[in-house]
Amino acid sequence: MWEYLFKSTACLLAFYLFFQYILEQQQCHTFKRFYLLGTLVFSLLIPLLTLPEIVSLSEITPTGLGQVTVYASEANVESESGYLQLTQWKMPLYLAGFLIFLFLFIYNLFRLLQNIWLHPKEVQKNHTKVLLSEPLIPHSFFRYIFLDRNEVRENKIPDEVILHEEQHILQYHSIDILVLELFKTILWFNPLLWLYLRKIRLNHEFLADRAVIQKGTPVGRYQQSLLHFSSPKNQPAFAHAINYSSIKKRMEIMKTTKTKKPYSWRTFLLLPLSLLLLYSFSGRNTRIEQTAGTDELKSALEITSGHQVKPGNTLQDGASKAQIQEYNKLARKYNEMPEDEMVIDKREVERMYELYNIMSQPQRKKAEPFPTLPPPPPAPERALKPSRTPAPPAPPAGIAPPRPPKPEHPDVESKHRRTPPPPPPNPVEHIKELIEAGAVFYYQGEEISDKAALKLVQSDKLQSIKVDQKGLGAPKVVLE
């Protein structure tokens, strides 16, 4: 959660600074409109994207592998602890702010719709005038222009002001504002989103001013009309109004001569910036490819970060949604099969093992239980091939071959002759073998990770290790 917010905010900040110092003074207002909207959405999507990356085992050293492993483990622990903190007190705080801004969003939208329903209207070709009884500055929302009824009757509103608001309607600026207000309701705590909304509103005014001047309106008369109808008050939510604070900036832009090449070389810097942010803040789906002469590295890959990783598996923080869905489909198929009619596909079972090894412990608990598969049938006995070792030479004629000596007490000797029991396995090595087999460990009735199980065995605090192996599924190990 916090990692996503950090990455998306960093991308948003980079795009905002690029606009502030590179694009804002350019005359490409249409490009800037789609730049602000596109980079906002792109910043929120970059942390969710995953780029494929293939690494050869020969390029990894055991030391580097350990460093990567510790990083993945710490990131996992940090994300889990951050989630617990968020659910304790930060989530209620976020929900409180979200509900407040959601109420304001609905209230402001309802006020605009109420003015449309309750006041008289004059339908024109490209817009509809809504005549309000209270004094206000002209503003627009979709195809509606809200005007003071008394000023309309007395013809105090110049045509260029009506034309300005009509340009907002024809260019569908209200859609941009409505989308930004929705984003602001969800991400109300992000100050960059408020700055984005301010830049987009100002760029809308640039677009409308340029369209009015292109219609033949004198610049001086148009600027006087803006000064007359501007107001230091806040403009209505969701609407476009002649705002007092932006008049100076707009007049400076009007005086600037539009160049024949509005898209300067600075504009094309956006491509390397986007690629840099995509590479820096997107996820990685690293796949390890096995190469010749890497036996030592393969053994180092067998246990990493408390999860079993094999050559060819994917190093990532648990399985993806698509991988979990694929595993659930296969596991559900075999769990629903009757035991006496079960038909096993070797490739599907191997795929289930691979997906199960990738999943984290919380994902395994939520996923379908691993099916209990019958043991594989015994291998067919092979016919004994004739030995190629030459037969011993026959004894000379007339001489019987020597007989082996007979024991003095054959019954007693065979009775007491027993094979000595094998020595007990080393507990640490035994646990490592179980980890390689994908075992699931339990301690005091709770499931624990592979790394925790290995630490318990090394601490010499355990009295017994019970292994429950059923079919081809992962063995269950109970530590006591």
Asked if residue 3 lies in contact with residue 80, where contact means CB atoms within 8 angstroms, the answer is no
pLDDT at res. 99: 94
- Cα 338 from chain centre: 38
pLDDT confidence band for 144 (50 / 70 / 90): very high
Range from 24-33, 296-305, 400-409, 437-446 that averages highest in pLDDT: 24-33
Return the minimum-mean-pLDDT range out of 96-100, 255-259, 428-432: 255-259
Return the minimum-mean-pLDDT range out of 369-373, 396-400, 419-423, 433-437: 396-400
Q: Helix crossing, 191-214 with 173-186: angle to 10°?
A: 170
pLDDT at res. 102: 93
pLDDT digits (tens, 9 = 90+) for 396-407: 555 555 565 555
pLDDT digits (tens, 9 = 90+) for 105-132: 999 999 989 989 988 888 888 889 998 8
Write the single-letter amino acid at 43. Answer: S
pLDDT digits (tens, 9 = 90+) for 420-433: 666 666 777 777 88
Across the range 76-86, mean pLDDT stands at: 50
3-state secondary structure of 477: strand
Non-local CB neighbours of 155 within 8 Å, separated by 6+ positions: none
Asked if residue 4 lies in contact with residue 47, where contact means CB atoms within 8 angstroms, the answer is yes
pLDDT confidence band for 279 (50 / 70 / 90): confident
The C-alpha angle 460, 461, 463, rounded to 5 degrees, equals 100
pLDDT confidence band for 13 (50 / 70 / 90): very high
Q: Is the confidence at residue 215, as pLDDT, over 50?
A: yes
Asked if residue 443 lies in contact with residue 298, where contact means CB atoms within 8 angstroms, the answer is no
pLDDT confidence band for 235 (50 / 70 / 90): low
Across the range 366-381, mean pLDDT stands at: 76
pLDDT at res. 404: 57
pLDDT at res. 396: 56
Q: Cα(456)–Cα(378) distance, rounded to whole angstroms?
A: 37
Asked if residue 273 lies in contact with residue 41, where contact means CB atoms within 8 angstroms, the answer is no
pLDDT confidence band for 475 (50 / 70 / 90): confident
Q: Is the confidence at residue 234, as pLDDT, over 50?
A: no
pLDDT confidence band for 395 (50 / 70 / 90): low
pLDDT digits (tens, 9 = 90+) for 183-203: 999 888 888 888 988 899 988
Return the minimum-mean-pLDDT range out of 50-54, 100-104, 431-435: 50-54
pLDDT confidence band for 81 (50 / 70 / 90): low
Write the single-letter amino acid at 47. Answer: P
pLDDT at res. 106: 93
